[in-house]
């Protein structure tokens, strides 16, 4: 074993295996060895603003240089580099044309059916400029919001970059969300246009996009929308509303291939991305331009050690934050060559990821633990799709994101995909943080399976108790970040109060950013392990969902009187959704229950999107409640796991109900 010193296996739940970065990796790494890491941390401690100012000057091209680094006057509404001006698309595209990357491949597009299209930086620049000019011709201007509802495509990335080029704020909505979810986001954002495709191609199937946009707009309330721009992906049959809808090709084909970037203030909102919280409707996380771009570029170098010769592949979707920072912006900001994949990991077979790594000689591969776990299962069942059946020798670095990775999945990834020679960066971060926060640096940090190890230099992550006091290592608590950082969320769109109360709660002193996760630090190493959300947010296959959202969707069904949703641990998806439902009619049983459960699942799919469909639905005459009427979710979580209840149920008004709720419909 060249890279690792494998110590004892797992003792209880304390993971004691340690894997050092390979020496040759460290030798050439951007951050080479722990001394280099510690030196960066010390620099940030010594002169926090000076540290970020230096990095912002080195990593971002400013049209107007900033003179003020951090403005904390109106905390927690922090401002970074506020008097500087820049353009993100200029930094991601024009800069590469000047750096000698014009003919370098920016994107290797691997379509669902395996067709490959290469796009150089010069091509991408022209595409984005034409797109930007097209949007301008529709009257779209700086500060307008544009919703993007598209599948994985070069055009999806170009749409985002085109918005950035003209200073329009984009809001990408994941293509798996329903018409209703799309409509809610369009209304909240007050968008002037939607950019979409006729259909998307996934797993050999054509799935509607434009039809869903039509449905969303027909629901009403979207009066701000003037145009729908449609990229022809499949050529499928779609409806067209004259005057409102326009084909992308008609919009851009005759446009000039140059477009002067709109120079915006560093704090100008680059995008809004909706994500789930523990209460209420999804919130529009607003990111700024300057600090965000710095983060995207910097973490490509720090966490991914990106080099000019790398072929980088992040398997996320542009509908999620990972697809923003680590597909649309980060790789282009550093002039990388990246694979963009349209399809799904199991089509035409479960070896698709490994086959694609082999085909494009991918050197950096970034995916989610859920994908790894499902591919472990598939390759256990069929040797032909096992990573060993492919040539993965091009790989030099692996990464994971989105959910905790269990040590066994980490080990499998390390051995079978990385051939024990690739460091794994287990990157902890959130939609709100804009980019990586706690992660190993691949040429420095000794890795421990299941731990995201240490914060990036300058990130003042800590674990506190409920009063905001530090807890000692070895004792679990609440994960916070004690100082603002450049790529942090700026506010919740339309809802600054919710931003302040939710992320900088008074109970913690009003100054710490509350991540919403629990964590524990190792007694000896100080390494962080994320223990999961401390609020009512579920993480299913790395997708964030609020229990409240799913409950509201269920009770909106005319059959349902009451519903409570909890997460249940799941071997593959991390967590799965288990819903406890009380109907207005008598509690159904047998076939009847199955039929209604199927109906409710479809319903939730329509209300939110297929990703929110409960895996299990259980019917009761009532829900377990205290005498004051509070639903005892704690008990529901135990029931969902199929464990017997050992807790005190004396405060429960209706203990008999528990028996009913053990049964899945």
Residue 136 CB, nearest approach to ligand WTA (Å): 32
Residue with tokens 């290592």: 473
Listed residue (197, 194, 203) closest to 236, CA to CA: 197
One DSSP character per residue, 186-200 reads HHHHT-SEEEEESEE
CB of residue 437 to ligand WTA, shortest distance in Å: 9
Applying the rule CB under 6 A, the residues between 541 and 580 that interact with ligand WTA are 544
Interface segment toward ligand WTA; rule CB under 6 A; list 145-153, 329-337, 399-407, 520-528: 399-407
Region near ligand WTA per CB under 6 A, out of 131-139, 318-326, 382-390, 497-505: 318-326
One residue of 355, 403, 536, 607 binding ligand WTA per CB under 6 A: 403
Rank residues 444 and 515 by Cβ distance to ligand WTA and give the closer one. 515
Residue nearest to ligand WTA (CB): 431
Q: Is 404 annotated as a binding residue?
A: yes
Which of 68, 244, 483, 533 touches ligand WTA (CB under 6 A)?
533
Q: Judge whether 402 is annotated as a binding position.
A: yes
Of the candidate spans 32-40, 133-141, 182-190, 395-403, the one that interacts with ligand WTA by CB under 6 A turns out to be: 395-403
Q: For the segment 178-217, give every residue that binds ligand WTA (CB under 6 A).
A: none
Instruction: Say which residues have a Cβ less than 8 Å from residue 76's Cβ, sequence separation at least 6.
Output: 484, 499, 500, 503, 504, 510, 511, 513
Spacing of C-alpha 86 from chain mean position: 25
Nearer to ligand WTA, 123 or 517 (CB): 517
CB of 454 to ligand WTA, least distance (A): 13
Q: Which stretch binds ligand WTA (CB under 6 A): 111-119, 356-364, 400-408, 458-466?
A: 400-408
Cis amide leading into 76 (omega within 30)? yes
Rounded least distance, CB 452 to ligand WTA, Å = 5
Cα gap 402→316, rounded to integer Å: 10
Least CB distance from residue 363 to ligand WTA, whole Å? 21
- Residue 321 interacting with ligand WTA (CB under 6 A): yes
Q: How far is the CB of 652 from ligand WTA (least distance, A)?
A: 30
- What does the alpha-carbon distance between residue 622 and residue 528 come to, in Å, rounded to a whole number? 40
In the complex with ligand WTA, the residue whose CB is nearer, 317 or 342, is 317
3-class DSSP assignment, residue 106: strand
| Per-residue interface string for the shown chain with ligand WTA, residues 504-523, x marking contact by CB under 6 A | -----------xxx------
Binding characters for ligand WTA, 451-480, by CB under 6 A (x = yes): -x----------------------------
Using alpha carbons, select from 30, 6, 42 the residue that is nearest to residue 444.
30
Evaluated on CA atoms 389, 390, 396, 398, the torsion sign reads negative
Size of residue set near ligand WTA by CB under 6 A: 22
Query: Nearest-CA neighbor of 417 among 351, 359, 370, 360?
Result: 351
- DSSP label at 406? P
Count other C-beta atoms under 10 Å from residue 168's C-beta.
25
Q: Which of 359, 379, 371, 378 is nearest to 398 (CA)?
A: 371
- On whether 403 is known to bind a ligand per the annotation, the reply is yes
What is the C-alpha to C-alpha distance for residues 86 and 268, in angstroms, rounded to an integer?
10
Nearer to ligand WTA by C-beta: 133 or 322? 322
Residue owning tokens 């009532």: 622
Q: According to DSSP H, which parts of 317-415 are helical?
A: 321-323, 330-333, 352-360, 369-381, 407-412
Q: Find out whether 322 is annotated in a ligand binding site.
A: yes
Cβ proximity to ligand WTA: between 125 and 436 the closer is 436
Query: Least distance from C-beta 181 to ligand WTA, angstroms?
Result: 15
348: preceding bond cis by omega (within 30 degrees): yes
Cβ atoms of 305 and 443 closer than 8 Å:
yes
Annotated binding-site residue? 253:
no
**In whole angstroms, how close is the CB of 433 to ligand WTA at the nearest point?**
8
State the binding string over 416-455 for ligand WTA (x if CB under 6 A, else -): ----------xxxxxx--------------------x---
Whole-angstrom distance, CA of residue 300 vs CA of residue 314: 12
Q: Does 15 bind ligand WTA (CB under 6 A)?
A: no
- Considering only 401, 462, 540, 631, the residue that binds ligand WTA (CB under 6 A) is 401
CB 534 within 8 A of CB 465: no
Nearest distance in Å: CB 632, ligand WTA: 24
Q: How far is the CB of 568 from ligand WTA (least distance, A)?
A: 16
Query: Which token pair is 192?
Result: 């002037």
Cβ-based burial of 263 (10 A; exposed 0-12, middle 13-18, buried ≥19): middle
- DSSP labels, 288-344: ESHHHHHHHHHHHHHTT---TT-EEEE---TTSHHHIIIIIIHHHHTT-EEEEE-S-
Stretch that binds ligand WTA, among 307-315, 396-404, 466-474, 520-528 (CB under 6 A): 396-404
Residue 156 marked ligand-binding = no
Verify binding: residue 404, ligand WTA, rule CB under 6 A: yes
Mark the binding-site residues for Mg(2+), compressed into ranges: 555, 560
Mark the binding-site residues, compressed into ranges: 202-205, 322, 402-404, 426-431, 517, 533, 541, 544, 555, 560
Contacting positions for ligand WTA (CB under 6 A) = 275, 320-322, 401-404, 426-431, 452, 515-517, 530, 533, 539, 544
Mark the binding-site residues for CoA, compressed into ranges: 202-205, 322, 541
Mark the binding-site residues for ATP, compressed into ranges: 402-404, 426-431, 517, 533, 544
């Amino acid at each position: 074993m060249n890279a690792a010193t494998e110590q004892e296996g797992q003792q209880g739940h304390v993971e004691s295996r340690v894997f050092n970065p390979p020496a040759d990796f460290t030798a050439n790494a951007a951050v080479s060895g722990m001394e280099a890491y510690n030196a960066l941390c010390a620099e940030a401690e010594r002169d926090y603003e000076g540290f970020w100012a230096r990095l912002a000057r080195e990593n971002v091209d400013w049209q107007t240089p900033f003179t003020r680094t951090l403005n904390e006057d109106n905390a927690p509404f922090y401002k970074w580099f506020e008097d500087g001006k820049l353009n993100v698309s200029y930094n991601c595209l024009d800069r590469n044309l000047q750096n000698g990357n014009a003919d370098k491949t920016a994107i290797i597009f691997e379509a669902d059916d395996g067709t490959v299209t290469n796009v150089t930086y010069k091509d991408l620049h022209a595409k984005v400029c034409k797109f930007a000019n097209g949007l301008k011709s529709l009257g779209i201007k700086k500060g307008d919001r544009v919703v993007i509802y598209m599948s994985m495509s070069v055009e999806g990335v170009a749409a985002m970059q085109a918005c950035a080029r003209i200073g329009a704020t984009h809001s990408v909505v994941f293509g798996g969300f329903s018409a209703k979810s799309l409509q809610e986001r369009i209304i909240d954002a007050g968008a002037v246009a939607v950019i979409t495709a006729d259909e998307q191609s996934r797993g050999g199937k054509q799935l509607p996009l434009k039809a869903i946009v039509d449905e969303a707009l027909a629901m009403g309330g979207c009066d701000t929308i003037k145009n729908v721009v449609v990229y022809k992906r499949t050529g499928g049959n779609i409806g067209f509303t004259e005057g409102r809808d326009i084909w992308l090709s008609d919009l851009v084909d005759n446009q000039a291939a140059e477009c002067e970037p709109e120079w915006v203030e560093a704090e100008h909102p680059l995008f809004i991305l909706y994500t789930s919280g523990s209460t209420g409707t999804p919130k529009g996380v607003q990111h700024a331009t300057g600090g965000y771009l710095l983060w995207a570029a910097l973490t490509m170098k720090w966490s991914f050690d990106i080099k000019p010769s790398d072929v980088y592949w992040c398997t996320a979707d542009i509908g999620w934050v990972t697809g923003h920072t680590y597909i649309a912006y980060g790789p282009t900001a550093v002039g990388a060559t990246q694979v963009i994949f349209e399809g799904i990991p199991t089509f035409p077979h479960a070896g698709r990821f490994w086959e694609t790594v082999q085909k494009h000689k991918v050197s950096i591969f970034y995916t989610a633990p859920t994908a790894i776990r499902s591919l472990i299962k598939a390759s256990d069942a069929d040797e032909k799709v096992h990573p060993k059946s492919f040539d993965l020798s091009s790989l030099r670095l692996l990464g994971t994101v989105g959910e905790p990775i269990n040590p066994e999945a980490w080990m499998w990834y390390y051995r079978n995909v990385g051939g024990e020679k690739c460091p794994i960066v287990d990157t902890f971060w959130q939609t709100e943080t804009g980019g990586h926060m706690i992660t190993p640096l691949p040429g420095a940090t000794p890795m421990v399976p299941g731990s995201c190890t240490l914060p990036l230099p300058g990130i003042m992550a800590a674990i506190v108790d409920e009063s905001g006091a530090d807890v000692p290592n070895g004792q679990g608590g609440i994960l916070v970040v004690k100082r603002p950082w450049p790529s942090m969320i700026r506010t919740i769109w339309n809802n600054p109060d919710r931003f302040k109360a939710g992320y900088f709660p008074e109970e913690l002193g009003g100054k710490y950013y509350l991540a919403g996760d629990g964590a524990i630090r190792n007694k000896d190493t100080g390494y962080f392990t994320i223990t999961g959300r401390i609020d009512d947010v579920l993480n299913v296959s790395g997708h964030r969902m609020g229990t409240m959202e799913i409950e509201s969707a269920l009770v909106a069904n005319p059959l349902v009187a009451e519903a409570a949703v909890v997460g249940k641990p799941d071997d593959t998806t991390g967590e799965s959704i288990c819903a406890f439902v009380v109907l207005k009619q008598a509690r159904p049983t047998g076939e009847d229950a199955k039929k209604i459960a199927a109906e409710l699942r479809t319903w939730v799919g329509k209300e939110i999107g297929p990703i929110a469909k409960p895996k299990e639905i259980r019917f009761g005459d009532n829900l377990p409640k205290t005498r004051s009427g509070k639903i005892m979710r704690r008990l529901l979580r135990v029931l969902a796991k199929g464990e017997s209840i050992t807790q005190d149920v004396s405060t429960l008004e209706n203990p008999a109900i528990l028996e009913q709720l053990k049964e899945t419909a």
